[in-house]
A and B are shown apart, each in its own frame.
Chain A
Amino acid sequence: MSSPMISLKSLTSTTTMNQLLATAKSGACASSSCGSPAKPEDVDSATWEKIKDHPCYSEEAHHYFARMHVAVAPACNIQCNYCNRKYDCANESRPGVVSERLTPDQALRKVIAVANEVPQLSVLGIAGPGDGCYDWKKTKATFERVASEIPDIKLCLSTNGLALPDHVDELADMNVDHVTITINMVDPEIGAKIYPWIFHDHRRFTGLEAAKILHERQMLGLEMLTARGILTKINSVMIPGVNDEHLVEVNKWVKERGAFLHNVMPLISDPVHGTYYGLTGQRGPRAVELKTLQDRLDGGARLMRHCRQCRADAVGLLGEDRGQEFTLDRIPGEVRYDASKRETYREVVARERGDHVTAKSEAIGMVKAAGSSGLLLVAVATKGGGRINEHFGHAKEFQVYEASAIGINLVGHRKVEQYCRGGWGEESTLDDVIAALEGIDILLCAKIGDCPKDQLTEAGVRVTDDYGYDYIETAVSALYAAEFGLEPLAATA
């Protein structure tokens, strides 16, 4: 297991095509595992083909591929208590920041501009504000225009499901193979506490009647998608005291109807966003409550644990948002699609990925085989590629991996303020970072200075840069071995 380290960074920063090719070629593949199918064991190969480049549907893919959202469909047919339409959809985007709303033509220009500059781009999503299935003409026009310019881009749609059954056939015809439905209840009694009204069949419905219609349409839409082989992700907003316990039932219903993935997201209810929940003091769940619920749901529909609740106009890898680089005023009036960067990037990723999968399965196999009852929570500073390749001071989030008898799994992430700014560390920021790392056993990063290292150690967070640039799972398995007195694997990379 030793392959040359290929820098994905050099491929993804804005650079000339010649530099890009030179970098790609310098990383000749010397690994015996080259070309091995980078497929997790728990999905069939047809499904894997659909999700392998989709950062939201495949945790493995989220290390390599990026998504972008375009806000083209602002009209909505539902009022949710966690959304204030004066600003933005709080479900699908960080609230309080108004997104740039685009016409389908503007969206096309933006997608081309991003595809030319961000080679990781693999998915275009329409995810609010508003509902893409309700505001259908704009959604359809956008998908059709983008697909004709960039045929290999994956099209993805997020919806509340109310108008979904009306458009499933068109979605299938347009090769939209990923649809997310936000489903917060299967019991209309609970639904009535979440949705004050819906607009359906030319009139407004409220209360139990509204929730009942919504529930029936959501289930019908999900069944129709499943029947056509379109992969579905179910988003549920976890609202303590309202639907938190009930989400166990929701998970069961959606699994029975073929949902591929279930993503339970914490309610965001800051009063400043002016949502009903925000104003009535409804709290969101704490990180530990969310994790406890997710752990209970394990064994039902596959769970998404790497969601970052991104903005409706986010651009880039999950956990980063380059949206501000691509606002309309920064995009030329005329743009032409240039496929070369994306193609080169994909070639390199295909090679790197095979190697990563082998390293990962060896590491997980070792931890499983150890038969230890020990449990280790490890935070990792990474900027993609599945490696520990971010400096402590530059990290804006840490990915959290759990090593235990069931293997090594990504179980979440912790957002932090960047500690190092312009060469100097901020003392107060370090305190916040330490607080954010509550419960973490060990922190891994590519590099860390002596000063923050000492302070973290003093605060009880062990930290090391000994595994800098290694694959995450390889390092975690070595730590696990050391922690619980097992025989470690030889280091890779």
Chain B
Amino acid sequence: MAFRIIASQCTQCGACEFECPSGAIKFKGEAYVIDPEKCTECKGEFELQQCASVCPVPKTCIPA
């Protein structure tokens, strides 16, 4: 029940961070990471996961 970010593909644009309805995405050290404790996969909020929908690089925000 969580998504994760493939750091090597991430362009660090940060769109996922402010689109995440759960506040689960933070910039830590050198990369954006999703806190699996907080991630709800947007269930109950949106039809599709916001991080994956806004991410410009395919297959970068994926199910953990």
Residues of A within 8 A of B (CB): 74-77, 79, 85-86, 101, 129-130, 134-135, 137, 199, 202-204
Contact = CB atoms under 8 A, between A and B. Distances in A.
Interface residues of B, number: 15
B56 A135 contact: no
Given A76-B13, A135-B15, 11 more contacts: A75-B13, A75-B18, A76-B56, A77-B54, A85-B11, A85-B57, A202-B46, A202-B50, A202-B53, A203-B53, A204-B48
Contacts of A77: 15, 54
Nearest to A130: B13
Contact of B14 (A85, A86, A135, A199): A135
A272 B20 CA distance: 33
Interface in B1-56: 11-15, 18-19, 46-48, 50, 53-54, 56
A86 to B, nearest CB: 6
Contacts of A75: 13-15, 18, 54
A134 B57 CA distance: 18
Nearest to B11: A85
Contacts of A101: 12
| Chain A interface, >50% SS class | loop
Contact of A203 (B11, B12, B14, B47): B47
29 contacts: A74-B12, A74-B13, A74-B14, A75-B13, A75-B14, A75-B15, A75-B18, A76-B13, A76-B15, A76-B56, A77-B15, A77-B54, A79-B56, A85-B11, A85-B56, A85-B57, A86-B11, A86-B57, A101-B12, A129-B13, A130-B13, A135-B15, A135-B18, A199-B15, A202-B19, A203-B48, A203-B53, A204-B48, A204-B54
Contacts of B47: 203
A364 B13 CA distance: 48
B38 to A, nearest CB: 18
Given A76-B56, A77-B54, A85-B56, A203 B46 contact: yes
